[in-house]
Structure formats: structure tokens, C-alpha cells
Amino acid sequence: MTAILLAAGLGKRLLGTSGGRPKCLIEVGGKSLLARLLEDLAAVGVREAVVVVGFGEEAVRAAIGAGPAGMRLRWVSNPRYREGAILSLWAARDALDGPVVVMDADVLCPRTMLARLLGSPHENCFLLDGAVEPTGEEQMLLVRDGRVCDIVRGGAPGYELAGESVGFLRLSAEAARLLRELLARRIAAGDTGIEHEEVYPELLARVPVGFERVDDLPWIEVDFPEDVVRAERHVLPRIAALER
């Protein structure tokens, strides 16, 4: 299993909070979001990680160094990080030849959440939080007959379950190779300004993708300055209590 961590973005809304550094280097409890994810991945048995960097690339490389013990860390550059996140995933396309976990690098979550994803009986699997109160900003997973049928920002009616995507997707080798093909088609068509999630509906139409619910676990995607405060004051203490 290889983890692909997308950490190339500019994070405009957080530049003041981050001191102009990439948002994956924002520290919560004295440790950066990216360092926490890498350490937790290593702890649950992931032995290879590909980190896609762009904005502040040198700072990210310097801060992370060789990565956690026991993990092979590879760096991939996306110089076009100001365009869509599809280009970050495309930059890591060589890793889409075996089982992978595609991850946003701006998420604070417990190690238990990663273990739940990797231990799922679904070889293709999202993490879904059904307890969220949608604001229209969230990437919502839409479920019918026990499988994820669509992912839409803000959601849509007519499904048996809708929940926010944590931003982590586990794929089998076969599904990963299909995703690479779908990405190639969109890139060739000039769709370089879109999010990588906008390619997922095509994947969902062709392979079954299940989900694991994480309503019971504390987590947060750090997008705004207030998210940093909430992460420090509320989410991290709950994670610490869970992992004692």
C-alpha cells in the first residue's frame, strides 16, 4: 500500500496564519499536519508515501526530511500548483499502478481513522462522516445500495445516505490504474483547472466503491484560520484522549 499525499496547494485563506508557509506545515500541538499524517501512516503499516509538493516545496522538504522511520518517502513536484488539484494527483501518476490511498494533507485525524480505512473489507473505500451539518462547502459522498455513487460539493437529494468525505480514498491496484486512465483523458482534454475529486464520479460509475463511517471520530480539514483554533482547542484534545 502506497499513500499519496497531496500537499502542493497555495492555501490562500491560511497564508496569514501559516506565516506564508504551506498549510500542510501548520502546526497543531507543536507538530505539523503533514508530519502527523506521515507518522500515523507509518504506525498503521504503510511503508511507502509519495508527497506531492508545489508551493513552498523547499520548506516542506526541509521540515519533513527523511520522514518516519521504516517508511520510504518519495517527493514529487507539481510546478503548476496554482491550477487545479487534478495536476497534483497527475504528478503522482506513477504510484497509481498498485494499491494506494489518496489523501489530502490538510487533515487532522486520529490514527484510528487510518486503521479503519486500511482495515476495511472494501478494497475501494472512502471515509464518510454522516454527522456533518452541510454548509455547501463540503465534498459530500452520496450513497445508494451500500456503495458510493457520486461525490458532489454541497451534496444532492435522492440518496439513502449523504456524508462528508474526509478526503481519503483507498483504491485497489485495478481501480488505481483506471483512475490514472481517467486522469489522463481529462488532462488531454485540457481540464487542468479542476479538483481531482471532479474525476471521481467517472471512477464511481465503473468500479464499486464502499465506505467506512467515521461519525464517532474527531477530525477536521484545516481550510480557514478558525479551523486552526478549533483543531488546537477541541479536536486535538479529543484525539489525544482517544489514543491514550
Return all residues near 220 (Cβ < 8 A) that are at least 6 apart.
107, 108, 109, 227, 230, 231, 235
Q: Are 228 and 236 in contact (CB under 8 A)?
A: no
Tell me, what DSSP letter sits at residue 56?
B
- Written as nine digits, the cell of 142 is 452520496
Q: Record the pTM.
A: 0.96
CB atoms within 10 A of CB 148: 27
Q: How large is the angle between the packed helices 111-118 and 33-43, nearest 10 degrees?
A: 50
- Sign of the four-CA dihedral 43, 49, 54, 57: positive
CA distance 189 to 184: 9
- 3-state SS record for 180-203: HHHHHHHHHCCCCCCCHHHHHHHH
Return all residues near 122 (Cβ < 8 A) that are at least 6 apart.
170, 209, 210, 211, 212
In CATH, which superfamily holds the domain spanning 2-242? Spore Coat Polysaccharide Biosynthesis Protein SpsA; Chain A (3.90.550.10)
| Bridge pairing between strands 48-53 and 2-7 | parallel
Per-residue pLDDT tens, the chain, 244 aa: give them.
Answer: 999 999 999 877 777 777 788 999 999 999 999 999 999 999 999 999 999 999 999 999 999 999 999 999 999 999 999 999 999 999 999 999 999 999 999 999 999 999 999 999 999 999 999 998 888 889 999 999 999 999 999 888 899 999 999 999 999 999 999 999 999 999 999 999 999 999 999 999 999 999 999 999 999 999 999 999 999 999 999 999 998 8
- Written as nine digits, the cell of 122 is 472494501
Q: Are 140 and 162 in contact (CB under 8 A)?
A: yes
Q: Are 151 and 204 in contact (CB under 8 A)?
A: yes
CA distance 169 to 68: 22
CA distance 32 to 4: 17
